Structure 1
Amino acid sequence: MIGTVREVTPNVDAGRLLAGAQFIDAFRVATGKQQLDAREACTRMVLHGPRWIDALVRLRNVLVAPFGLKTSGEGAPAPGGLIGLFPVLSETPDRLVAGFDDSHLDFRIVVDVAGDAAGQGVTLTTLVRTNNLLGRAYLTLITPFHKLVARSMMGRIAEPAR
């Protein structure tokens, strides 16, 4: 059903994207006949998400700054620039990989677009590798929010461009 976000079994080469990842999940949404590339799908998801997500990100940045963790937009320049706070690491029309490495954890988001003129779908896969106790604690705390945020952001992809 177009616009319905559902959790799916991840279908990526986790070893190549983020070797040693301890967390991986994926969500998929059908976009119908709307033809998107991976960058447009990611842009709709990240830049046009619900406002409450922006508030959560601002709160997260305030809470993690004392621990020396990266906040939005920090870090080395990305080869593909930034989409929101996500540095783009690699990109083709069908796949965009974004993310960064931090002292507590490393993460990647993978936006895959598949289908044809009759119907297209977008899959968001998240991979996380924790580096220490702080990373494991952080991952445990954010996982319930991550699933809610991912579903909400994915719902924006099927909407017409703004």
Structure 2
Amino acid sequence: MNAPIFETAIPATSYLHAELAGAHFHDCWLTTLAPHGRTAMEMYLDAVRQTPGWVNALMSLRNSVVALVGLKNLGSLNGLRAGKAAADYRPGDRAGIFKVLRVSDDEVVLGDDDRHLRVQVSVCKVRHEGQDAVAVSTVVHLHGLLGRIYMLPVAPMHKLIVPAVLRRLQRS
């Protein structure tokens, strides 16, 4: 299925909708999916397992550069614990580069805090024009100048990365 992937507002039903106040950056990408019965966590795991190689190369570059200013190495987006089932993830667990913050069948919220920013990502099952869809939302709150500098290259790359990951999810 090659449904369009488009930028939209963060769904009002998403936990992240309430996190928009004061955010420096936020976006949401949505696409319809064939009926599948997967939970939001299963969709997240399917998506990151299929991360394009160029995205992991960018993450590796990011990790090298930010180490110079003392920020943490996040590893790769698809750096998941082998054999761990979606149903076994709980708040506090790591799932790739993020920590699981909230999890339900319809939405998983993941995030990370560093001294320069707080990022939260949601994978939320929604209905769009009568079809099953997934909305991937991101909300970033910055902490000072380092966060602003960090987001200069990250924000435009994010607008390429999320749709590329969603294209892979469409195929799964």
Q: How does the TM-score come out when normalised to structure 2?
A: 0.81
Is there any run of 5+ residues in structure 1 with no aligned partner, and where?
none
Is this contact kept in 1: 2:91–2:103, CA < 8 A?
no
- Count of aligned pairs: 155
Is there any run of 5+ residues in structure 2 with no aligned partner, and where?
76-89
Q: Residue 7 of structure 1 corresponds to which residue in structure 2?
A: 7
Distance, in Å, in 1 between the alignment partners of 2:7 and 2:21 is 22
Q: Residue 139 of structure 1 corresponds to which residue in structure 2?
A: 151
Of 138, 143, 163, 1:151 maps to 163
Distance, in Å, in 2 between the alignment partners of 1:15 and 1:122 is 15
- After TM superposition, list the pairs within 5 Å mapping 1:99-114 onto structure 2: 99-114=111-126
Pair 14,42 (structure 1): closer, same or farther in 2 beyond 3 Å: closer
Is this contact kept in 2: 1:36–1:113, CA < 8 A?
no
- Displacement of 1:14 in angstroms is 4.4
Aligned-residue CA RMSD (Å)? 2.2
* 2:164 alignment partner, SS class: helix
- Displacement of 1:119 in angstroms is 3.5
CA deviation vs aligned residue, 1:89-130 (integer Å, no higher than 9, x gap): 1100100000111111110001101249x8411000000011
Structure 1 runs (4+) greater than 6 angstroms displaced: none
Is this contact kept in 2: 1:9–1:26, CA < 8 A?
yes
Of 49, 52, 55, 2:54 maps to 52
Q: Residue 135 of structure 2 corresponds to which residue in structure 1?
A: 123
